[in-house]
Amino acid sequence: MRTFGAVVQALREHAGLTREEFADKVGYSKHTVASIEQGRRMPDRDFVERAEPVLGGTGALRKAAPHLSRQAGLASWFRQWARVETTAISLYTYECRVLPGLLQTEAYARAVSLNVPPLPNADELEERIAARLTRQELLSVTRKQPTAFSFIVEQAVLERWTGGAAVTREQYDGLLELIERNWNVEFQVVPLRQPSHAGLDGPLQLAETPEHRWFAYSEGQKNGRLITVPKEISVLQQRYAKLRSQALPPDDSLSLLKRLRGAL
The predicted structure's pLDDT at residue 64: 85
Q: How confident is the model at residue 63 (pLDDT cuts 50, 70, 90)?
A: confident
170 Cα distance to chain centroid: 21
Q: How confident is the model at residue 69 (pLDDT cuts 50, 70, 90)?
A: low
Cα dihedral across residues 81, 87, 93, 95: positive or negative: positive
The predicted structure's pLDDT at residue 66: 76
**From residue 256, how far is each of 27, 53, 70, 89, 95 by CA, in Å?**
54, 53, 40, 28, 17
Average pLDDT over residues 189-210: 96
pLDDT in tens, 73-100: 788 778 889 889 989 999 999 999 999 9
The predicted structure's pLDDT at residue 70: 54
pLDDT at 124 over 60: yes
Give CA–CA dist 132/158, Å, rounded.
19
Q: Hey, where are the domains in the chain?
A: 2-67, 76-262
Average pLDDT over residues 7-25: 94
Percent of the chain exceeding pLDDT 70 equals: 98
201 Cα distance to chain centroid: 22
CATH classification of 2-67 is 1.10.287.70, yes or no?
no
pLDDT in tens, 110-119: 999 999 999 9
Q: Are 150 and 97 in contact (CB under 8 A)?
A: no
With both helix axes pointing from N to C terminus, report the angle between 165-181 and 106-115 in degrees, rounded to the nearest 10. 130
Scored b (16 or more CB within 10 A) or e, 75-112 reads eeebbbbbbbbeebeebbbbbbebbbbbbbbebbbbbb
The predicted structure's pLDDT at residue 31: 86
CATH classification of 76-262 is 2.60.40, yes or no?
no
pLDDT at 43 over 90: no
pLDDT at 71 over 70: no
Q: Which range (10-19, 71-80, 180-189, 230-239) has the least confidence?
A: 71-80
pLDDT in tens, 133-189: 889 989 999 888 899 999 999 999 999 999 999 999 999 999 999 999 999 999 999
| Residue scoring higher pLDDT (123 or 204) | 204
Average pLDDT over residues 231-244: 98
